[in-house]
Amino acid sequence: MNKIKRIKGTQDVLPGEVHNWQKLEAVIHSTMSIFNYREMRTPVFESTELFARGIGRLTDIVSKEMYSFEDRGKKQITLKPEMTAPIIRAYLEHNLKTQAPLQKVYYISSLFRQENPQAGRLRQFNQFGAEAIGADAAELDTELIQLALAVFAKLGIEGLKLEINTVGDTECREPYKIILKEYLRPVLDQYCEDCRKRFDGNPLRILDCKKENCRTLNRNAPKLSDHLCSGCDEHFTKLQDTLRAGGIAWSHNPYLVRGLDYYTRTVFEITSSDLGSQNAICGGGRYDLLAEQLGGPPTAAVGFAAGIERTLMVMGRQGLLSEQPGRLQVFVAPLGDAAAAVATEWVTKLRAMGYRTDRDYLGRSVKAQMREANRQRAQMVFLLGDEELKQKNFSVKEMDNGTQKSVSFSEIGPYLSDFFKHEK
């Protein structure tokens, strides 16, 4: 019988790898707390309409990549491909504005898109991100950028670059689309098929195309930043001023638009040369129109999302991943049935005292148990045989220095406390 294998575009995070994920997640949680962002979790699946209205029906995500299906109740359901729309849906549904005028939340979540699997891009992938809902201040845009960069800095990642732009709002963006289409029309046949399809419905998305030929054609396109209304121009100037005040280096990319329809004003990307041509590790921006698109009142909001797999790839290429998980503190090695029963009692006690403890369950020889303790990188081994049972003590071997000593059952607590005092 053939073995069942994982679905294409998914991955297993094995016990020897997961400690790096846990380290990353711990840094995310601690950094978000410092910035006063609180975690939010939403369902794995949502109404398909949420993403069609929120992200945009003409986007690649909605038109090509979503995992959508009809459930037994004939409802159209989609495995969530991104987190911003679900968070705004929850914000509106639970009327979170009444709890605080500014909601600052973050998430760590699995997401789903039916893309062609490649390095850093999976069909089930993971992101972390943050959203600040309820204020239109450019200083808040800067805070989100600072927050993303702070996570990467705490992980030790170096060499990141920040690009910013503005995509304006409805007041200045609609007149700009007319100007852009006048530029595109004479050369439209030189663009890719996807860009030609976007010409009528959303020409701004053409600037987001990643195909090299289209990128080359876009270099001479008119810049939205040259056609801003006064409000958007003031907001973008304020953003740049606050980034300078925060000591953050950035460059202005006038053709950065991001790939989703809900963005307004600020957009940004953080890139790493360690990722190759698809170099974005994080992206985000302001989306003041999204709440209205989902049936709510006008609500200013800004946020970012970062790929966890991509972050781990960069960490790996910069030598920041650990090959070994945290060390086992105590390995209990019983010899014989009587010792095995006592070992069970002591493993329970040691774990209750807070020590990472394991034991042998296979009835192996002393030599084999010592090999297992070495494999688990145990800091000490408690040997327990007939003689130790009579004397009511353990023969303790400290694995790093090879010292072996007898420690009575009554002195185990103080002995361990002293040995591990630097770890507490």
CATH number of the domain residue 347 falls in: 3.40.50.800
Q: What does the block give as tokens for 322?
A: 């650990």
Encode the chain (424 residues) as per-residue pLDDT tens digits: 889 999 888 899 999 899 999 999 999 999 999 999 999 999 999 999 998 887 766 566 666 788 888 889 999 999 999 999 999 999 999 999 999 999 999 999 999 998 776 666 788 999 999 999 999 999 999 999 999 999 999 999 999 999 999 999 988 888 998 999 999 999 999 999 889 988 887 888 888 787 889 988 888 899 888 899 999 999 999 999 999 999 999 999 988 887 666 789 999 999 998 887 778 999 999 999 999 999 999 999 999 999 999 999 999 999 999 888 889 999 999 998 899 999 999 999 999 999 999 999 999 999 999 999 999 999 999 999 999 999 999 999 999 999 999 999 999 999 999 999 876 5
Instruction: Indicate whether 25 and 89 sit together in one domain.
Output: yes
In a domain, 365, yes or no: yes
Task: Give dist(CA 360, CA 247) in Å, integer.
Answer: 55
Given this model, what pLDDT does residue 199 score?
Answer: 87
Residue 23 belongs to domain with CATH number: 3.30.930.10
Domain residue limits at 407 = 330-416
Total count of residues recorded for the chain = 424
Instruction: State the Cα angle at 60 between 233 and 279, rounded to 5°.
Output: 70
pTM as predicted: 0.89
Helix/strand/coil percentages in the chain, nearest 5: 45, 20, 35
* 384 and 259 share one domain: no
Q: Please list, in sequence order, all residues whose beta carbon lies within 8 angstroms of the beta carbon of residue 171, skipping any fewer than 6 positions away.
A: 229, 231, 232
One domain for residues 398 and 274: no
Residue 344 lies in a domain: yes
298 and 342 in one domain? no
Q: Are residues 36 and 132 in the same domain?
A: yes
Check whether residue 357 and residue 308 sit in a common domain: no
Query: Are 277 and 339 part of one and the same domain?
Result: no
The structural domain count of the chain equals: 2
Q: Does 305 share its domain with 346?
A: no
Task: Return the structure tokens found at 269.
Answer: 């990307």
Q: Can you tell me which residue has the tokens 């509106």?
A: 92
Q: Residues 80, 82, 87, 88: is their CA dihedral positive or negative?
A: negative
pLDDT of res. 211: 86
Considering only CA atoms, give the Rg of the chain.
Answer: 28
